[in-house]
A and B are shown apart, each in its own frame.
Chain A
Amino acid sequence: MINSVHKKINSIVFSIFSPKQIIDSVSAKIVTPELYDREGYPVDGGLMDLRLGVIDPGLRCKTCNQKLKECPGHFGYIELARPVIHIKFVRQILDLLRSTCRSCGRVLIPDEKVKRYVSMLNKISDDEDAEERRKKVKEIISKYKAKDKCPHCNSKQEKIKIEKPYNYYEGDVRLSPIEVRARLEKVHEEDLVIFGFSSSNFRPEWMIITIMQIPPVTMRPSITLESGERSEDDLTHKLGDIVRINQRLFENINAGAPEVIIEDLWDLLQYHITTFFDNEVSQLPPARHRGGQPLKTLTERIKSKEGRIRHNLAGKRTDFSARTVISPDPLIGLNEVGVPQSMAMHLTVPERVTEWNKEYLRKKIENGPKKYPGANYVIKSDGRRKTITDETKEEILGELEEGYVVDRHLVDGDIALFNRQPSLHRMSMMCHIVKVLPGKTFRLNPAVCNPYNADFDGDEMNLHIPQNEEARAEAKILMLVETQIISPRYGLSVVGCIHDAITGNYLLTKELVFTRNEAADLLYGCGVEDLSSLPDKDRIDGKEVFSVLLPNDFNFVGKDKSGNQVKIVNGLLKSGLMDKSNLGQESGLMLRNIFEKYGPAYTADILGKISKLGIAVLARRGFSIGIGDLDLQNEVSEEISAIVKKAETEAHKLIDSFYAGNLEALPGRTIAETLELRILEALNRARNKSGDVAIRQTKESSALTMAKCGSRGNPLNIAQMTAVVGQQALRGKRIEAGFNGRTLSYFKKGDLSPKARGFIKNNFKSGLTPNEFFFGAMTGRDALMDTALRTPKSGYLYRRLSNAMQDLKVAYDGSVRDASGRVVQFTYGEDNLDVSKTKNGVIDVKEIIQQTIGEKK
């Protein structure tokens, strides 16, 4: 904008327009309900008068001489034949009528008291609000009203009633808006202060409309339908009614028509003006379209969820973005995101026409918006936007030239930003490469679930399409998933294999053997094309198959989950199993080392291959769990019951010695506390022991396999299913007596025995007794409450921390500075380490030396 104004706002005062202010500020007087003349040109003095602003691209505003989008629009006015009550001020008018004298207009409080009340009232409006203040005024007035006499002129007061929505009665006589206005005119300026009205720029009679503002056409633009027909805005319709009735009222008054007819028209005018402001007044039938749906007038535009405030101001939406449910696709690349084709046809990327891409873009335009891959808009060299439709297609193709920009559909390889709320760290928003897929969900590689903290139980995610080269380059270079693999928090990979991918590789490296053909088939299916490193023999074991994925110069020594050494020499897995500690997210150094040596792209690629290999292996071998996985041999079951029985006996012995008084207290504990601790310890020991027995003795089962390699479940889960569920604890203690002296009415009062205090000796497979089940429910509820209450608390804590630290940065000299350059730390983190460049927070100097020397050899 050329003629922009720069001014500093000192204060804002809210008031209402006076008739004079309205006339002074408007640019047109509206006199006719007609909108357009025969040529379709706006009528002077009509509701679409060109002095009220422009909505036609070709025309100029007659007031400010600016074009469409430059002219902000200008108000007009109409002069009402008879005044009308403003529906939004009905209450205030009623209060004023009731609180002031009908003949002298003074407030119904004796002069000498007024001063005292004003300061009290001012305090109320300061502490609370104007509404409270008016309530208080009414209270005070009613104190003096009992006398029914004006304290100033002694005239008798009548009771003012209201008949909703806007008819005032004094006794049985109706007060017309003219009479109401006359009353309000009489109200003294100094009395207004009592009601909390600012007297300097407010008069109560302005709450009665005599001159009505007509909003600019820019806020009620007409739309041209496909048929070429014009359709006016609801406000314009309403204003048309107002102008028409007003005109008729004028004519009837001038013609000296009978009072009944005038009254009727006046009421009608009141109705139209009321519904213009608010079409949902409870006692009034709403004004409707011909079709029957109610008009949306001023109040409806502002309020409610779909209104201007909550919808447009508080809830802004971004263009070129999309949101839908996510679902997994292990075959999609780590860097990719699957976008539904229906979305790809709405999300566009602007592409400038050049000599080299003209034909390619022509094809897109030919396909148009309905055929993928097409284009939705063309932006001409002068910046004008054209929608591509079947009708405009030919014309656009004809005029297409270099410099035009085509908004083409999203295609494979486009850049997108992908995000899941809550966006707690930088990996919550990463750059992905678009892959357009059928279906209606976003697809993502399960390996990137971890940084987003996403799962597929209905989670939704957002997608944004950068619209220029700079944004795309920035996103791709700085935010692509593969560049974010190493966490800045702990220096290990945030992505990794999960679930079946881990199980598959575990079984592969542990026990599987293939023929050479099978191995080649398996690997080729995972995207390995170079099979030259596959050993040339008939039987190939899993470790050798896995090794094909590893680069030939990769060396690694680490540990697997069970503590055995994992050794990789020259890209060959010599010993150890591939389980969670090396393939999983947030653990193990193998992925970290691969990333360091071969870089982001290679790591993303190999991770994808390892994942696919694991899943393919599992698919061939077959993998399922069932109730049979929890079977124990008879001897084992007996051993477990013996362990539990022994613990119970031990607990009972402790209780007995407690009652006998010869239990020795632990240091710093009472005897009762000692008893609790020792029982708890004995029972937990029994649970752990029987769990160990169960896990050791269970024959190989799928459930155990998963627990062992860390893909899902842990030994405790298995122990609880097969052996003993164990002691239920609330706040670190055994279940306490919630009833009078006992946990459940089933037990004797004061019973301290394990089973009366929440020890579950059954397992989930055999099933729980009712009282055991109840104890389980108690701890279950406690855990649920805990998570439900802690999540928002810790979320807010985190938010405060991150907001407080958001503009701290590490300066070039290694110190941490705030936004104004003040020092926060002299060396970043005291050790100057960039964690994302370390391995789990450590720099292994020994390894670096070894590698350097080794490479020199």
Chain B
Amino acid sequence: MAFDVTKHTLVSKHLKVSDTEKESVFKQYNINSKDLPKILKDDIAIAHLNLKVGDLVKIERVSKTAGIAVYYRVIIEG
């Protein structure tokens, strides 16, 4: 059995973003998918989320100065 990277302390929490939330992110930053940072579809950290190309992942990072810092990535073909 392979090691589950999502359990590792250094791997930030990767979450699924609903379509409505996705729209609100786009609206908040006045952007679309091509302006976002990317993540490969077969990235091991999001393997358990069952996402498709074009979806967003929300990454909650533990930050020394900000507590939890939110980051978004768009899924691209891997």
Q: How far is A651 from B30 in the complex, measured between Cα atoms in Å? A: 69
Is there an interface contact between A824 and B37, defined as CB atoms closer than 8 Å?
yes
Q: How far is A821 from B36 in the complex, measured between Cα atoms in Å? A: 10
Whether, in the assembled complex, A829 has its beta carbon less than 8 Å from a beta carbon of chain B, the answer is yes
The contact string, 1 if C-beta is below 8 Å from chain B, for chain A 838-851, is 00010000000000
* Known contacts A830-B61, A830-B63, A831-B63: A823-B37 contact under CB 8 Å: yes
Q: How far is A813 from B34 in the complex, measured between Cα atoms in Å? A: 18
* Known contacts A824-B37, A826-B71, A830-B61: A815-B29 contact under CB 8 Å: yes
The contact string, 1 if C-beta is below 8 Å from chain B, for chain A 692-723, is 00000000000000000000000000000000
Is there an interface contact between B29 and A813, defined as CB atoms closer than 8 Å?
yes
Task: Report B-chain residues with C-beta under 8 Å of the C-beta of A813.
Answer: 28-30
- Chain B nearest CB from A709 CB (Å) reads 32
Task: Report B-chain residues with C-beta under 8 Å of the C-beta of A833.
Answer: 65
Is there an interface contact between A831 and B31, defined as CB atoms closer than 8 Å?
no
Contact of A829 among B28, B35, B61, B65 (CB under 8 A): B65
Contact of B29 among A826, A829, A831, A832 (CB under 8 A): A826
Task: Report A-chain residues with C-beta under 8 Å of the C-beta of B35.
Answer: 821-823
Is there an interface contact between B36 and A831, defined as CB atoms closer than 8 Å?
no
Contact of B66 among A815, A827, A841 (CB under 8 A): A827
Is there an interface contact between A830 and B36, defined as CB atoms closer than 8 Å?
no
Q: How far is A825 from B28 in the complex, measured between Cα atoms in Å? A: 14
- Chain A nearest CB from B39 CB (Å) reads 13
- Chain A nearest CB from B56 CB (Å) reads 12
Whether, in the assembled complex, B70 has its beta carbon less than 8 Å from a beta carbon of chain A, the answer is yes
The contact string, 1 if C-beta is below 8 Å from chain B, for chain A 19-50, is 00000000000000000000000000000000
Task: Report A-chain residues with C-beta under 8 Å of the C-beta of B34.
Answer: 822
Q: How far is A313 from B65 in the complex, measured between Cα atoms in Å? A: 49
* Known contacts A821-B35, A823-B37, A824-B37: A831-B69 contact under CB 8 Å: yes
- Chain B nearest CB from A820 CB (Å) reads 8
- Chain B nearest CB from A613 CB (Å) reads 38
Contact of B65 among A821, A826, A831 (CB under 8 A): A831
Is there an interface contact between B31 and A830, defined as CB atoms closer than 8 Å?
no
Task: Report B-chain residues with C-beta under 8 Å of the C-beta of A831.
Answer: 63, 65-66, 69
Q: How far is A829 from B72 in the complex, measured between Cα atoms in Å? A: 15
Closest residue of A by beta carbon distance from B36? A823
Task: Report B-chain residues with C-beta under 8 Å of the C-beta of A827.
Answer: 66, 69-70
Task: Report A-chain residues with C-beta under 8 Å of the C-beta of B66.
Answer: 827, 830-832
Q: How far is A821 from B61 in the complex, measured between Cα atoms in Å? A: 23
Q: How far is A833 from B69 in the complex, measured between Cα atoms in Å? A: 13
Task: Report B-chain residues with C-beta under 8 Å of the C-beta of A815.
Answer: 29
Is there an interface contact between A830 and B65, defined as CB atoms closer than 8 Å?
yes
- Chain A nearest CB from B30 CB (Å) reads 8
What's the dominant secondary structure at chain A's contact region? Answer: loop
Give the total number of A-B pairs whose CB atoms are below 8 A apart: 38
Closest residue of B by beta carbon distance from A821? B35
Q: How far is A825 from B63 in the complex, measured between Cα atoms in Å? A: 13
The contact string, 1 if C-beta is below 8 Å from chain A, for chain B 24-49, is 00001111001111000000000000
Which residues of chain A from 643 to 680 have any CB-CB distance to chain B below 8 Å in the complex?
A: none
Which residues of chain A from 367 to 402 have any CB-CB distance to chain B below 8 Å in the complex?
A: none
Task: Report A-chain residues with C-beta under 8 Å of the C-beta of B72.
Answer: 823, 826
Q: How far is A829 from B65 in the complex, measured between Cα atoms in Å? A: 9
Q: How far is A829 from B71 in the complex, measured between Cα atoms in Å? A: 11
Q: How far is A830 from B69 in the complex, measured between Cα atoms in Å? A: 6
- Chain B nearest CB from A821 CB (Å) reads 6
- Chain A nearest CB from B35 CB (Å) reads 5
Closest residue of A by beta carbon distance from B71? A826
Q: How far is A614 from B76 in the complex, measured between Cα atoms in Å? A: 63
Is there an interface contact between A823 and B29, defined as CB atoms closer than 8 Å?
yes
Closest residue of A by beta carbon distance from B59? A826
- Chain B nearest CB from A128 CB (Å) reads 42
Closest residue of B by beta carbon distance from A815? B29
Task: Report B-chain residues with C-beta under 8 Å of the C-beta of A826.
Answer: 29, 70-72
Which residues of chain A from 224 to 252 have any CB-CB distance to chain B below 8 Å in the complex?
A: none
The contact string, 1 if C-beta is below 8 Å from chain B, for chain A 795-837, is 0000000000000000001010000011111110111110000
Is there an interface contact between B31 and A821, defined as CB atoms closer than 8 Å?
yes
Task: Report A-chain residues with C-beta under 8 Å of the C-beta of B70.
Answer: 826-827
Q: How far is A832 from B65 in the complex, measured between Cα atoms in Å? A: 10
Task: Report B-chain residues with C-beta under 8 Å of the C-beta of A825.
Answer: 71
Closest residue of A by beta carbon distance from B35? A822
Is there an interface contact between B69 and A823, defined as CB atoms closer than 8 Å?
no
Task: Report B-chain residues with C-beta under 8 Å of the C-beta of A832.
Answer: 66
- Chain A nearest CB from B65 CB (Å) reads 4
Which residues of chain B from 6 to 35 have any CB-CB distance to chain A below 8 Å in the complex?
A: 28-31, 34-35
Closest residue of B by beta carbon distance from A817? B35
Q: How far is A823 from B36 in the complex, measured between Cα atoms in Å? A: 6
- Chain A nearest CB from B74 CB (Å) reads 10
- Chain B nearest CB from A841 CB (Å) reads 8
- Chain B nearest CB from A70 CB (Å) reads 48
Q: How far is A813 from B35 in the complex, measured between Cα atoms in Å? A: 15
Task: Report A-chain residues with C-beta under 8 Å of the C-beta of B61.
Answer: 830
- Chain B nearest CB from A683 CB (Å) reads 37
Task: Report A-chain residues with C-beta under 8 Å of the C-beta of B37.
Answer: 823-824
- Chain A nearest CB from B75 CB (Å) reads 15
Task: Report A-chain residues with C-beta under 8 Å of the C-beta of B69.
Answer: 827, 830-831
Q: How far is A268 from B36 in the complex, measured between Cα atoms in Å? A: 74
- Chain B nearest CB from A508 CB (Å) reads 38
- Chain A nearest CB from B59 CB (Å) reads 10
Closest residue of B by beta carbon distance from A824? B37
- Chain A nearest CB from B53 CB (Å) reads 18
Q: How far is A823 from B30 in the complex, measured between Cα atoms in Å? A: 10
Task: Report A-chain residues with C-beta under 8 Å of the C-beta of B30.
Answer: 813
Closest residue of A by beta carbon distance from B67? A831
Task: Report B-chain residues with C-beta under 8 Å of the C-beta of A823.
Answer: 29, 31, 35-37, 72
Q: How far is A193 from B29 in the complex, measured between Cα atoms in Å? A: 61
Closest residue of A by beta carbon distance from B25? A826
Closest residue of B by beta carbon distance from A842? B65
Q: How far is A823 from B66 in the complex, measured between Cα atoms in Å? A: 19
Closest residue of A by beta carbon distance from B34? A822
Closest residue of B by beta carbon distance from A814? B29
Q: How far is A825 from B37 in the complex, measured between Cα atoms in Å? A: 9
Closest residue of B by beta carbon distance from A841? B65
- Chain A nearest CB from B32 CB (Å) reads 10
Closest residue of A by beta carbon distance from B65? A831
Which residues of chain A from 610 to 634 have any CB-CB distance to chain B below 8 Å in the complex?
A: none
Q: How far is A825 from B36 in the complex, measured between Cα atoms in Å? A: 9
Q: How far is A823 from B29 in the complex, measured between Cα atoms in Å? A: 9
Closest residue of B by beta carbon distance from A811? B29
Q: How far is A829 from B66 in the complex, measured between Cα atoms in Å? A: 9
Closest residue of B by beta carbon distance from A813? B29
Closest residue of A by beta carbon distance from B30? A813
- Chain B nearest CB from A294 CB (Å) reads 63
Q: Which 5 A-B pairs have the closest CB atoms?
A: A830-B69, A831-B66, A831-B65, A830-B63, A830-B66
Chain A contact residues, CB within 8 Å of chain B? 813, 815, 821-827, 829-833, 841
Chain B contact residues, CB within 8 Å of chain A? 28-31, 34-37, 61, 63, 65-66, 69-72
The contact sample of 22 A-B pairs, CB cut-off 8 A, is: A813-B29, A813-B30, A815-B29, A822-B35, A823-B31, A823-B72, A826-B29, A826-B70, A826-B71, A827-B69, A827-B70, A829-B65, A830-B61, A830-B63, A830-B65, A830-B66, A831-B63, A831-B65, A831-B66, A831-B69, A832-B66, A841-B65
Knowing that A823-B72, A831-B66 are A-B contacts, what are 9 other residue pairs whose CB atoms are under 8 Å apart, sorted by A's residue number? A813-B28, A821-B35, A822-B36, A826-B72, A827-B66, A830-B66, A831-B65, A831-B69, A832-B66
